[in-house]
Structure formats: C-alpha cells, structure tokens
Amino acid sequence: MDRMACVDVLALPLQLLLRDHPEWREHPAAVIDRDTSQGVLSQVNEAARQRRILPGMRATTARALDHELRAGTVPDARVAAVREEIVAALRVFAPGVEPSTDEPGVFWLDASGLGLLHPSLERWARLVVDDLAGRRLRARIAVGFTRFGTYALARHGRVAVQVLRDPDEEMARARAVPLARLDLPPDARDALHKLGIERVDDLVRLPRTGVRRRFGDEVVRLVRLATGDLWTPLQPVPAREPVRAQQRLDHGERDLDRFLAVVGQQLPPLLRTLAARQHLLQTIELRLRFEKAAPRTERLQPAAPTLQSARVLELVRLRFEGTPLEDEVVELELELHGVAGNPAQAELFDTHVERDPAAGLRALARLRAELGDDAVRVARLTEGHLPEARFRWDRCTDLPVASPRAVRHPPLVRRILPRPVPLSSQRRHEPDGWMILGLEGGAVEEVIGPYVIEGAWWHREVHRELHYVRTAHRGWLWVYFDRRRRRWFQVGSVE
C-alpha cells in the first residue's frame, strides 16, 4: 500500500518572527497581516491560544484579552524563500515533495518504499525532523496513507513523529482532531464552536447541505477530505536542477582578462544546455578557490532572463573590477539557474524606441554587478502606524513603464528622514520666538497641528503629536513632540 507523509513546519511565519525576536518566546505572540491596530492575526503561539487569542482576531481585540501580546509582520517574500529552502531539504529524504498551496509550512512527501531503505519509517521520519531542527525550524511529521489524515495528525500531534499502522487507525485518530487546529475560516470556526462542534468527527456527522448553506464551500471541502470523497494523488513539484561546470586551472590566475577568458569558455555550452531544456538564464553563481585566500562566491542576475553570453560576461567583468581577485584562482565552478522561457524569443533583436525599458534594466543590472545587489533600491508603500514605517526599501529588479496623469494642483512632497532627528530643547513659548532649529533656522512663523498618533503597542507604545511648522529660513518642517521623552523631533520636511 502506498505511503504518504505530511510535514508541518509549525506556523512557519511565526517561527521566523520569533527568530527575529527571541525575547518574545515567553510571551503571547502572533503574526499580523499589517502593522496597524486593525491588523488581523494570522498565526499565534501556544501562549496566545491559552489566553483565548486565536487567528482571525483583530489586533485590538487580542490586545484587550492580554496586553502582553507581542505581534509583528513577516514579509511574504521571506516566507517564500524559506519555503523553497525547505522543499530543497525535503527532496533529500523523499523522491516527491508537494508544498501546500494554502499553508506555507505544510508539505506532503511520497513515503512509499522508504521503509526498505531505512531501518524503519520511524527512523526515516526522525531524520526529516532532525534535519529541519538543524535549520532552526520546529516541525512535526505524520506518516500514513491519506492526504487529510496525515495533515490533521501533523497539525495536532503531541509528539514530533507519528507513524500509522493502517488506514483505519489513521481515520479514527484524524477524526478526533480539534477543528481549532485546522485551517478553517475564523467565522466558521467560531460559529461551529458556539454549536458545540469541536472535532472533525462532529463536523462530518452534520448534513452536507446544511453545512454548505451555513458555513460555506471551504468547510464542505474539509468534510469531503475527511470522509475521503475528495481524494487527490500526490502532486510533487518538479525539481529545477541548476547547470554546473567545474574547471581546475593548471596555473593560478589573477589577471582579470585571462580569468574572464576562462569564464567565457565555460559559458556557451552551459547556456546551450539551458536552451535545450527550454530555459533561460536567471542567475549565475561563480565559486572561486584561491591558492591561499578563503573561497569566494559571487551571485549575479541579468536584467532579464537571457542566453546571451556577452551580457553575462559584462556583468562578471563589472563585479570583479569593483572587487578585484585577492589571490590566484586555482579552481572555478559555474552554476547557472534557469527559468522556463522561449530561447528563440530571448535572442530577438531589441526594437529601437525613444525610451528603451530593456536598456534601463541592463543599466540597473550593471550597477548591481559593480556595486552589489543592494545598490539599486526602490521605495514601496506599506501599511504602517508611524510615518517612517509607511514605506520600505526593496531591491529594484524591474523598471515599470511610467504612467503619469495630469493634476490640477501639484501635491506637496514630504521628505521623510531615515530616523527622527532631535531638535532644539528650547521651549515653544519663548518671549523672543520659538527657534526649533536654533538661530540658523530662524523663528517659527506658523504652526499647523497637532495630529496625534498613538499605538504600536506590539513593539513599544508610541504617543506622538505631529505638527507642520514654518520657519523663517528653512521653510516647512514636519515635526512631532514626544511626550515620553519631553522633546521635539523632526521626522521630515515639506516642499
């Protein structure tokens, strides 16, 4: 009989949050979808559950239940990157790995026949859990026969490893799992709790038509999975193996031109291999071993997926002109990561237009290659409680076409400082006038405000009284008075 396993990396975004804030581990903690008092909790730890704080609650409601709650956001990009690392790690232990499309920390593995390769399935499952623990990730695994049974037991298991003997045992134990441990919509979960429907077995006994009408399609889907009506086979994601080449140099090489010649000899056959797979080059890694210096790894990304070796060599040249070879290279390894694409389309000549977006992307790629991946950044608006938290700086990987629109009155521009700057400690009601910037700024001639901001209790409680003040020599400033520190700070300026 075919075997299936489910690995649950317990609340993956929450684990990443607590990794950043280890001092929160002893407190109720939660991941929220946005950094505001109206943010919704998506994941909570056991300490929060014990205080009746559950996913789906608003931050203000959860705070009312326990003022010790700590909460924060975790970027989706970071979760996705860790998820890819987990998939790569699990492929070492199973031929097929299927990550859940709904929950980032859930993975199904093909466990058929693995009992013949290991002393027991328990031993194999323990190796999986121990490997993830070495990556600082807590996980549970259930080895059974069905998708829902292994998922439910991995979510609720009190031990890290569970191996089911037969399908009947798996079904009986899965139906005893509390609904609060499964991924149900918060409204449906709360409504079922009020009706005394606490476990999977209680839910599957309800009339199917009534469940759909009162609780929606998601709950009906869970019922069909639990009863075996909705059976789907394992659908592992295919592995995209990189293309590699390794060359040991007969004589150590430190001259940049001769080093680039070696790289140029290796690139064309690797790019042809990618083209045969109907892939384009997305990133390239160069691993260098030196005669005496420590090994070095460089990772480069073209402006767009390509198969043109000249563009790749240009990026390599720029990188090593900015950070020269520190010793003689004795061994070189190239690793090319591809992405699905049309090789013929990638080689078409660029069309010449007045403003060429592709040329702009190539310029950004050259800057990243010469100055580092973080040299080119773009501001992204985010949900934040404080002005300086309303945006973040992300790596710039694309260059969208501008779409300006006509406006009757041009808006004012607020320039936000990287961090608030303390201002003069002079009092506001001085007889000679309020000089918030000192003599060089001149006296304050006009004040608009205050605009009060309170909150951010999940990090450190904040009370700010924001004002716009016009000084004689520096124009409009954006400032606030911090009552806790009894001082004025400048957060930006207005143009």
Mean pLDDT over residues 333-348, rounded?
71
Residue 458 CB-density burial (10 A; 0-12 exposed, 13-18 middle, 19+ buried): buried
Looking at the predicted structure, is the pLDDT value of residue 65 above 70? yes
Res 412 pLDDT > 80: no
Domains of the chain: 4-172 (3.40.1170.60), 243-371 (3.30.1490.100), 414-494 (no CATH)
Higher local confidence (pLDDT), 356 or 112: 112
**What pLDDT digit, counting tens, does each position of 290-306 carry?**
999 999 999 998 877 88
The average pLDDT across 3-16 equals: 93
What confidence score (pLDDT) does residue 429 get? Answer: 65
pLDDT tier for residue 313 given thresholds of 50, 70 and 90: very high
Residues 196-250 pLDDT 10s: 898 999 988 888 778 888 888 888 888 888 888 877 788 887 766 789 999 999 8
pTM exceeding 0.85:
no
Provide long-range contacts, Cβ within 8 A and 24+ apart, for 16-24. 16/74, 16/78, 16/79, 16/82, 17/72, 17/74, 18/45, 19/136, 20/72, 21/70, 21/72, 24/70
Q: Using one digit for the tens of pLDDT, what is the confidence trace for 137-172?
A: 999 999 999 999 999 999 887 789 999 999 999 999
Predicted local confidence at residue 251, as pLDDT: 85
